Amino acid sequence: MKTDLYETKISNTRWIAYDIPANLGWIAYIVCLILIFTNEAPCSTSMMTFFGVIPAVWLLIGIGELIGERILKLDRVLPLCRLLRGFGVITVASLLGGLLSAVSFIVDLTQGHFCVYHLVMTVGGFVCGMLALLLFKGYQRKVSVE
């Protein structure tokens, strides 16, 4: 069975420069979502906010995959399925979460409310998504293993 492997040559410095803000982004997204649903935040819970749970779950799946990759010391050379389950899922989930949060933020503004939590979720989602995308794009096809 043929397995395509993908490797990144990104420097440790650049990796850390992308990784830390991306981690802050997804953490901020999930924490704000929890605060909104526990009524700790004075924000409306529009339908878009409810849909924001889907990217949060996907984020946790992607983060779990990346943690598993690091435990197995696979974070620089990955099979395509692991690359997609890790960085691919995080990228899509973060950007979708940022978009849904932006819509929720706009809905709140049209109703005369300023919800800083939706704003933080929007920024966190887009920051995480863009940096995860840069890490994802850094992986290049390496070799095929029989």
* Number of domains observed in the structure of the chain: 1
pLDDT given at position 37: 84
Cα separation, 39 vs 111, whole angstroms: 18
Which SS3 state, helix, strand or coil, does residue 114 take? coil
Q: Mean pLDDT throughout 51-64?
A: 95
CA nearest to 48, candidates 94, 107, 129, 90: 107
Domain span at residue 138? 3-145
Burial class from Cβ neighbours inside 10 Å (0-12, 13-18, 19+) for residue 29 reads buried
Q: Mean pLDDT throughout 15-22?
A: 95
Phi/psi at 41 (5° precision) = -115, 135
pTM assigned to the model: 0.89
pLDDT of residue 98 exceeding 70, the answer is: yes
pLDDT digits (tens, 9 = 90+) for 62-94: 999 999 988 988 878 889 999 999 999 999 999
Q: Mean pLDDT throughout 26-46?
A: 84
Pairing of β 3-8 and β 77-79 = antiparallel
**Average model confidence (pLDDT) across the chain:** 90
pLDDT of residue 145 exceeding 80, the answer is: no
Q: Mean pLDDT throughout 41-56?
A: 81
Burial class from Cβ neighbours inside 10 Å (0-12, 13-18, 19+) for residue 136 reads buried
pLDDT given at position 107: 87
Residue 6, phi-psi category: left (phi > 0), alpha (psi -120 to 50), beta (remainder): beta
Q: What is the chain's alpha carbon radius of gyration, rounded to the nearest angstrom? A: 17
